[in-house]
Amino acid sequence: MSGHRHCLMGLMPEQITETLGLKPFQGRQIFHWIHRKGVVDFDAMTNLAKPLRERLKEECVAQDMRIVNVQVSEDGGAAKVLIELRDGERVESVLLRDGDRVTLCLSSQAGCPLNCAFCATGADGFRRNLDAGEIAGQALLLLAAGEVPREVTPNIVCMGMGEPFLNYDNLVAAIHLLMHPEGLEIGARRITVSTVGVVEGIARFAAEDWQVRLSISLHAANEELRSQLVPYNKKDSLARLRDSVRDYGAKTGRQITIEWTLLDGVNDTPKDVRELLAFLRGLKAFVNLIPWNPVPGMPFLSSTRANCMNFLQGLEQGGVKATLRRENGGDIAAACGQLRAQHEPPTPV
Ligand code: SAH
Say if 245 falls within a structural domain.
Answer: yes
Task: Specify burial of residue 348 (Cβ count, 10 A radius: 0-12, 13-18, 19+).
Answer: exposed
| pLDDT tens for each residue of 104-157 | 999 999 999 999 999 999 888 999 999 999 999 999 999 999 999 989 999 999
pLDDT at 257: 98
Co-location of 110 and 187 in the same domain: yes
- Give the end of a domain, one of 19, 36, 61: 61
Co-location of 36 and 84 in the same domain: no
Co-location of 108 and 213 in the same domain: yes
Co-location of 71 and 24 in the same domain: no
Co-location of 295 and 180 in the same domain: yes
Co-location of 47 and 74 in the same domain: no
CATH number at residue 113: 3.20.20.70
Count CB-CB contacts under 10 A for residue 323.
13
pLDDT at 328: 63
| pLDDT tens for each residue of 257-301 | 999 999 999 999 999 999 999 999 999 999 999 999 999 999 999
Mutational pocket test of ligand 1: of 124, 126, 130, 159, the residue with most ligand atoms within 8 Å of the beta carbon: 159
Whether 10 shows a pLDDT value over 50: the answer reads yes
Give every CB contact of residue 169 below 8 A, 6+ residues apart in sequence: none
**Rounded distance between C-alpha atoms, residue 167 and residue 50, angstroms:** 38
Co-location of 202 and 310 in the same domain: yes
Mutational pocket test of ligand 1: of 215, 233, 336, the residue with most ligand atoms within 8 Å of the beta carbon: 336
Residue 307 CA, ligand 1 centroid: distance in Å: 20
Q: What stretches of 155-303 show up as alpha helix (H) in DSSP? A: 168-179, 199-207, 223-229, 238-252, 270-280
pLDDT at 318: 98
- Beta-ladder partners of 8: none
Report whether 124 contacts 89 (CB < 8 A): no
Q: Is the CB of 159 under 6 A from ligand 1?
A: yes
Say if 348 falls within a structural domain.
Answer: no
Co-location of 206 and 261 in the same domain: yes
Nearest to 269 by CA among 210, 329, 206, 225: 225
**Rounded distance between C-alpha atoms, residue 30 and residue 28, angstroms:** 6
Report helix, strand or coil for 84. strand
Report helix, strand or coil for 294. coil
Mean of the per-residue pLDDT values of the chain: 93
Say if 344 falls within a structural domain.
Answer: no
Whether 326 shows a pLDDT value over 90: the answer reads no
Co-location of 147 and 24 in the same domain: no
Say if 310 falls within a structural domain.
Answer: yes
Q: Is the CB of 123 under 6 A from ligand 1?
A: no
pLDDT at 3: 54
Report whether 13 contacts 27 (CB < 8 A): yes
Q: Is the CB of 92 under 6 A from ligand 1?
A: no
Report whether 283 contacts 243 (CB < 8 A): no
Report whether 196 contacts 230 (CB < 8 A): yes
pLDDT tier at 345 (50, 70, 90 boundaries)?
Answer: very low
Report helix, strand or coil for 95. strand
* Cα-trace Rg, the chain: 21
Tally of domains in the chain: 2
Report whether 308 contacts 291 (CB < 8 A): yes
Q: Is the CB of 130 under 6 A from ligand 1?
A: no
Q: Is the CB of 165 under 6 A from ligand 1?
A: no
Q: Is the dihedral of CA 339, 134, 124, 81 positive or negative?
A: positive
In the chain, the percentage of residues whose pLDDT exceeds 70 is 92
344 tagged catalytic: no
Ligand 1 atom closest to Cα of residue 161: 4
Q: Is the CB of 195 under 6 A from ligand 1?
A: yes
CA atoms within 13 A on the CB side of 294: 7
- Give the end of a domain, one of 35, 61, 87: 61
Whether 96 shows a pLDDT value over 70: the answer reads yes
**Rounded distance between C-alpha atoms, residue 86 and residue 246, angstroms:** 40
pLDDT at 333: 63
| Alpha-carbon distance values, 322 to 217, 231, 271, 313 (Å) | 14, 25, 17, 9
| pLDDT tens for each residue of 142-200 | 999 999 998 999 999 999 999 999 999 999 999 999 999 999 999 999 999 999 999 99
CA atoms within 13 A on the CB side of 91: 34
Co-location of 35 and 154 in the same domain: no
Identity (one letter) of the amino acid at 61?
A: V
Say if 86 falls within a structural domain.
Answer: yes
Give every CB contact of residue 185 below 8 A, 6+ residues apart in sequence: 36, 153, 179
Co-location of 172 and 209 in the same domain: yes
Query: By alpha-carbon position, which residue is closest to atom 15 of ligand 1?
Result: 217
Residue 60 CA, ligand 1 centroid: distance in Å: 36
Q: Interior CA angle at 226 toward 268 and 249, to 5°? A: 95
Ligand 1 atom closest to Cα of residue 295: 22
Ligand 1 atom closest to Cα of residue 298: 22
Say if 208 falls within a structural domain.
Answer: yes
Q: Is the CB of 300 under 6 A from ligand 1?
A: no
Co-location of 160 and 294 in the same domain: yes
Considering 7, 60, 84, 92, which one is annotated as catalytic? 92
**Rounded distance between C-alpha atoms, residue 302 and residue 325, angstroms:** 13
pLDDT tier at 227 (50, 70, 90 boundaries)?
Answer: very high
**Rounded distance between C-alpha atoms, residue 95 and residue 84, angstroms:** 17
pLDDT at 347: 42
Say if 347 falls within a structural domain.
Answer: no
Say if 337 falls within a structural domain.
Answer: no
CATH number at residue 11: 1.10.150.530
Q: Is the CB of 118 under 6 A from ligand 1?
A: yes
Q: In which domain, by residue range, is 316 found?
A: 66-332
336 tagged catalytic: yes
* Kind plus residue range of the DSSP H or E element containing 96: strand 90-98
Would you give the end-to-end CA distance of the chain in angstroms? 23
